[in-house]
Amino acid sequence: MDTTARARRRTGSLLLAVAAVVGGGIVAAPAAVAEPECLGPSYDFDGDRVPDAVVGAPGGSGRAGTVEVRLTGDGEPRTVVLRGPVGFGTAVAQLRSYEQEGDDRFCSQLVVGSPEETVFGMPRAGAVYLYEYDPVAATFVRRERITADSESVLGTPQAGARFGAALASASAPEETIDPKPQLLWVGSPGHDATSAPDSGRVTSFVVGATDTTTRGGEVFDLADLGVRGTAAAGAALGSSLSVRGQVMAAGAPGLRVGGLAGAGGTALWFAPPGDPGGLPPEPGTQHPPVLVHQGLTRVQGEAEAGDRFGAAVHLFPVVGDPQVVDLAVGSPGEDLGGDVDAGMVSIGRVHPGLTQPLLDFRSRHQDSSGAAGTAEDGDRFGSAVSGAFLRGAWRVVVGTPGEDVGTVRDAGMVQALGTWQGWSQDSPAVPGGAETGDLMGATLGADPEIVPGRAPDVGVPGENGGTGAVLTGLLAEGSVVRLDLGAAPGARYGRAIAP
Ligand SMILES: [Ca+2]
Ligand SMILES: [Ca+2]
Ligand SMILES: [Ca+2]
Ligand SMILES: [Ca+2]
């Protein structure tokens, strides 16, 4: 994309900082007194400075979708349930829309993806819902329903696009000085480009505090990376998303690499330097997007048909260097030796300040040093990836939903790479029991980094005939492990989890 096109696509307005005028003569360089304006971390909706867990249960086969928010309530926890059509809760996220003093309720708002919704008669075009928490009514109030047809959202709705199948926005730890509105990234993996059905798309925008008209942002396609037509068909860009610092990662697990269908790739988009939120724009100052796949010499492994590299992505902070991030990419379709779909994870550093922002990516699987279990047929290791700060380092947390536990098929397991430690539902102190089709580890909390020492919650979407369940406290050292169940068979509780 040239800078002219980029400038034309952006409509963001500058956010003006208002300086207080101090009366009575010369003020000699006062010491900066910076009070935090967003006190709680992201996902603290009820304002007690503890993040509130969000669980999506999108249902299916005629069963409606729900989203459950477990508000911590300053020691008096309470659960709020939001209801929507089938698919509502396929993805969950938070969004900051803070613009000026007094916008505290916009520090962290709830975002829910509903990709199966019909929009203007177009089935499965998809929608995204934005809610603010009302502390007086003690519930969530809908601010907006956003579709690809909403005012100033770039692009147009399309049948089958599944806008809202994945969501991501930059999160923040507690006590942010000078908070800014952040971009919300929305994946539409079923979006068709010219001569490229299901190539996928990622759209972003900002929502302000005073009104809900979206503005700014990008529409990001594989064509922006020079991948067009049959090369892009079926890539499903936007199947997975992660945002951290200046980097946004979007999985395209169906991408054709060197003619190999479904080898998969991951697209990286970079925000302008010093502007993690992506606004205001400074054309020409941002690194062009890049594509990561196993066909690159920097990436260990070979691109093979059906690897599905990019089925899951997660960006990690790097201790001591906010300019760089580490990227973990799951390829659950990877075959290892004769083991079909054993699965693999690729891990590497991304440095937006370098001409070549990708450093070397190494592969890890269940037969790697520091990993738990053994690579076997159908494990699908890497179906979900997240992070946890354990034993003094950031660890890549990996879900292996196809893991058989003893003779129990697809019971699933989760592990933290580099610790040799993994858990199934048959591990000591883990409730629920390993049962056929539990699929433990099919999903993981997407944003545990907001609170030091927090580990991601673990989805068990196949528990009790697809009722679904979420395990909390599993990876956190010394925590009691709890199992929360969905409301009914087919609810698929735990299909999406945050933080
Ligand atoms: Ca809270
Ligand atoms: Ca491979
Ligand atoms: Ca295994
Ligand atoms: Ca179970």
Task: Give the pLDDT of residue 415.
Answer: 97
Q: Is the pLDDT of residue 3 over 70?
A: no
Q: What is the mean pLDDT of residues 400-412?
A: 97
Q: At 149, is the pLDDT very low, low, confident or very high (cuts 50, 70, 90)?
A: confident
Q: Is the pLDDT of residue 163 over 80?
A: yes
Q: What is the mean pLDDT of residues 145-161?
A: 88
Q: Is the pLDDT of residue 9 over 80?
A: no
Q: Is the pLDDT of residue 106 over 80?
A: yes
What is the distance in A from the centroid of ligand 3 to the CA of 377? 8
Please name which of 125, 155, 315 lies closest in space to residue 221, comparing C-alpha atoms: 155
Q: Is the pLDDT of residue 7 over 60?
A: no
Ligand nearest to the CA of 406: 3
pTM metric for this prediction: 0.91
DSSP assignment string, 288-336: PPEEE-TTSTTBSS---TT--TTSEEEEEE-TT-TT-EEEEEEETT--B
Q: At 14, is the pLDDT very low, low, confident or very high (cuts 50, 70, 90)?
A: very low
Comparing 25-29, 74-78, 203-207, 266-270, the range with the smallest average pLDDT is 25-29
Q: What is the mean pLDDT of residues 286-292?
A: 92
What is the distance in A from the centroid of ligand 3 to the CA of 403? 5
Task: Give the pLDDT of residue 301.
Answer: 96
Terminal Cα-to-Cα distance of the chain (whole angstroms): 33
Q: What is the mean pLDDT of residues 112-138?
A: 96
Q: Is the pLDDT of residue 4 over 50?
A: no
Which residues crowd ion ligand 2, with CB under 5 Å? 294, 301-302, 304, 307, 334
Q: What is the mean pLDDT of residues 283-291?
A: 81
Q: What is the mean pLDDT of the chain?
A: 89
Comparing 63-67, 73-77, 99-103, the range with the smallest average pLDDT is 99-103
User: What share of the chain in percent tops pLDDT 90?
Assistant: 73
Query: Running DSSP on this structure, what letter comes out for residue 14?
Result: P
What is the distance in A from the centroid of ligand 3 to the CA of 309? 18
Comparing 5-19, 43-57, 444-458, the range with the smallest average pLDDT is 5-19
Task: Give the pLDDT of residue 85.
Answer: 96
Ligand nearest to the CA of 257: 2
Place of tokens 């860009």: 237
Please name which of 85, 185, 69, 83 lies closest in space to residue 134, comparing C-alpha atoms: 69
User: What share of the chain in percent tops pLDDT 70?
Assistant: 91
Task: Give the pLDDT of residue 32.
Answer: 54
Q: Is the pLDDT of residue 309 over 90?
A: yes
Q: Is the pLDDT of residue 1 over 80?
A: no
Q: Is the pLDDT of residue 10 over 80?
A: no
Give 435-478 pLDDT, tens digit per residue. 999 999 999 999 998 888 789 999 999 999 899 999 999 988 78
Ligand nearest to the CA of 331: 2
What is the distance in A from the centroid of ligand 1 to the CA of 150? 31
- Cα distances from 186 to residues 203, 227, 249, 356, in angstroms, run 5, 20, 12, 26
What is the distance in A from the centroid of ligand 3 to the CA of 365? 9
The length of the chain in residues reads 499
Q: Is the pLDDT of residue 199 over 70?
A: yes
